[in-house]
Amino acid sequence: MNTLSSDKKLEIMSFLKNHSIFQVLDREIIEGLAPQITEVEYGPGSIVFQEGDPADAIYIIRRGAVAVIQSKPQPKVLAYLTAGECFGEMAIIHDAPRNATIRVPEEASILRLPSAALKDLTRLYPAITNELADIINRRTTGDSPFKPPGLQGNLAFFDLPTVIQAVLGSRRSGVLVLYGRSGKAVGQLVMKDAVIGQAIYDQLKGEFALYELMNSDEPLDFTFDQKDISGVQPDPDLFRRPPYMLMIEGARRADELPKLMKNVGWPDATYEQIKRVPDFKILAAELPRELCRQIWLLIEVGSAIEVIWRQLAYDKYAVLTVVNEMINAGFLRVEVNLRCSSEFVKRTMQFRKPSLDQLSLEAAMAPERETPAGVMVSESPYEVVKLVNAVNSVSTNLGIIFGKTEMRILLQESLAKTTKLFPELGSLRVYMDSPALDLRGATSDFSSSARTIPALVQLANTLLELTPKLLKSGR
């Protein structure tokens, strides 16, 4: 927690005046509040306050985003707030405990003003209470007097279905764009008034693109920008279906997908065709017959299951369901195919290996500070995010050489070894189908511990030390 320096004071005052609900106040009044404002930086999984906590301050987001979580009857993200938006004010105005939990998914810099200062403000300027309440009401309906920046982040820290549901729940119109490793857009969702109007992802469009996005394990970057989308032509199949039905179907597919992947030998299996001319009529009636024929032809030329999926206009679940039905019906026999031979790896080892050395050194040397509670944390939690993204970049890029399944297993092994030395990494997971760290379940301990950055450095080093095992094993 940092008291504002004189240099930062002017910067913060300008931010509050131009990009927050405090713009209703005269600059002189905002400057008078400056001595009582502190700036707090939060990393992945940090909890600003819990539902039921006493209302001791009002918070204004300067950078990053927070999730507003309702804890009962079960945890649910109600909304995401971004720079300029405030939270915690209504509990102070109504003198009530916090009615929601505030969690930082990735990173955030937040300004804190004690409740006593806000109460003094409303006592000295009674009109401020009504003005704040009016602005807060307009903000919740999307009619904000200022335009906060769009929500953005990386899917290693955010759960995309939750982001989609929160945006739909807010009834905000705009475009959610997803970006691959090269920075090129690989997908987008267009949303208007709680309806999904368009979905595109790689080779997919419509509902299959939406389902694949919901189930994607890739740590993609994303942005959601509020904008007028009246000129976008909606997809009729998506537009006429209630979003909640699409989300339920996507969740169902996500639950069943791991079992399907195991049954069909995803991603490298090829198949022996036992029947020369299969009778597709004996398969489940709801399976598209044209899709069955397309898959059969691709199997006939020896394509692996992931290659088959990428050539079709259906999501992974739909394709794997057909193949699984063919296996159960006795049309096919699975042949496990190891994709990366040692000779292939030797021929492709001339690549620019992503370097963690400099980043690790800088992170390890990051200054530390002590919070009032006595917990040592990094001066900049953003270093934690940088290191996580670096590990994911290294592992994903090496997956191109060694195969993503092999690298995912190696990342799991590296995480398990490192967690024995650094329990702070205990809340991290590895994605089911991608060699990348999954921090969506990160706890507040992950970012608050001074050992987190050394732990991530150790994880990166362990991963790079174990990678030569893939060469020696002939994979």
Tens of pLDDT, residues 268-325 = 899 999 988 889 989 998 999 999 999 999 999 999 999 999 999 999 999 999 999 9
- Name the pLDDT band for 89 (thresholds 50, 70, 90): confident
Dump pLDDT digits (tens) for 341-388.
333 333 333 333 334 444 444 444 444 444 433 333 344 678 899 999
Q: Rounded CA gap, 190 and 233, in Å? A: 10
Q: What is the CA radius of gyration of the chain?
A: 25
Domain for residue 260, yes or no?
Answer: no
- Token pair recorded at residue 176: 């959610």
Specify the 3-state DSSP secondary structure of 192: strand
Q: What is the pLDDT of residue 145?
A: 54
Ranges 61-75, 228-242, 351-365, 418-432, most confident = 418-432
Domain for residue 132, yes or no?
Answer: yes
Q: Quickly count: other Cβ atoms within 10 Å of residue 97's Cβ.
A: 13
Q: Looking at the structure, tell me whether residues 7 and 76 fall in a common domain.
A: yes
Q: What is the pLDDT of residue 310?
A: 92
Using the predicted structure, report yes or no on whether residue 1 has a pLDDT greater than 60: no
Q: Looking at the structure, tell me whether residues 124 and 233 fall in a common domain.
A: no
Task: Assign residue 319 the CATH number of its domain.
Answer: 1.10.10
If one compares 389 and 128, the residue with the highest pLDDT of the two is 389
Percentage, residues of the chain above pLDDT 70: 85
Q: What is the pLDDT of residue 75?
A: 87
Domain for residue 116, yes or no?
Answer: yes
If one compares 3 and 161, the residue with the highest pLDDT of the two is 161
Which domain-ending residue is among 294, 317, 335? 335
Domain for residue 437, yes or no?
Answer: yes
Which domain-ending residue is among 93, 114, 140? 140
Domain for residue 258, yes or no?
Answer: no
Residue whose entry in the numeric block shows the structure tokens 């939690």: 381
Q: Identify which of 180, 254, 170 has the alpha carbon closest to the alpha carbon of residue 210.
A: 254
Domain for residue 433, yes or no?
Answer: yes
- Name the pLDDT band for 163 (thresholds 50, 70, 90): very high
Q: What is the pLDDT of residue 169?
A: 87
Sign (positive or negative) of CA dihedral 315, 316, 319, 320: negative
Q: Looking at the structure, tell me whether residues 275 and 220 fall in a common domain.
A: no
Q: Looking at the structure, tell me whether residues 158 and 228 fall in a common domain.
A: yes
Q: Looking at the structure, tell me whether residues 468 and 350 fall in a common domain.
A: yes
Which domain-ending residue is among 112, 140, 168? 140
Q: What is the pLDDT of residue 430?
A: 96
Domain count for the chain: 4
If one compares 470 and 221, the residue with the highest pLDDT of the two is 221
pLDDT (average), residues 153-169:
93
Domain for residue 262, yes or no?
Answer: no
Q: Rounded CA gap, 278 and 284, in Å? A: 14
- Name the pLDDT band for 64 (thresholds 50, 70, 90): very high
- Name the pLDDT band for 141 (thresholds 50, 70, 90): low
Q: Looking at the structure, tell me whether residues 436 and 355 fall in a common domain.
A: yes
Q: Which domain holds residue 180?
A: 151-251
Task: Assign residue 62 the CATH number of its domain.
Answer: 2.60.120.10
- DSSP-assigned letters across all residues of 64-82: EEEEEEE-SSS-EEEEEEE
Using the predicted structure, report yes or no on whether residue 22 has a pLDDT greater than 80: no
Using the predicted structure, report yes or no on whether residue 217 has a pLDDT greater than 50: yes
Dump pLDDT digits (tens) for 444-473.
989 888 899 999 999 999 999 998 877 666
- In sequence order, which ranges of 216-333 are alpha helices (DSSP H)? 236-239, 243-264, 289-300, 305-310, 316-328
Q: Looking at the structure, tell me whether residues 211 and 163 fall in a common domain.
A: yes
- Name the pLDDT band for 143 (thresholds 50, 70, 90): low
pLDDT (average), residues 102-116:
94
The mean pLDDT of the chain is: 84
Q: What is the pLDDT of residue 129?
A: 72
Domain for residue 179, yes or no?
Answer: yes
Q: Looking at the structure, tell me whether residues 6 and 121 fall in a common domain.
A: yes
Q: Looking at the structure, tell me whether residues 211 and 300 fall in a common domain.
A: no
Q: Looking at the structure, tell me whether residues 134 and 7 fall in a common domain.
A: yes
Q: What is the pLDDT of residue 380?
A: 65
Using the predicted structure, report yes or no on whether residue 58 has a pLDDT greater than 50: yes
Q: How many CA atoms lie within 13 A of 338 on its CB side?
A: 12
Q: Looking at the structure, tell me whether residues 408 and 370 fall in a common domain.
A: yes
Q: What is the pLDDT of residue 277?
A: 82
Model's pTM, two decimal places? Answer: 0.84
Phi, psi of 362 (to 5 degrees): -65, -40
Q: Looking at the structure, tell me whether residues 132 and 157 fall in a common domain.
A: no
Q: Identify which of 335, 327, 333 has the alpha carbon closest to the alpha carbon of residue 283.
A: 327
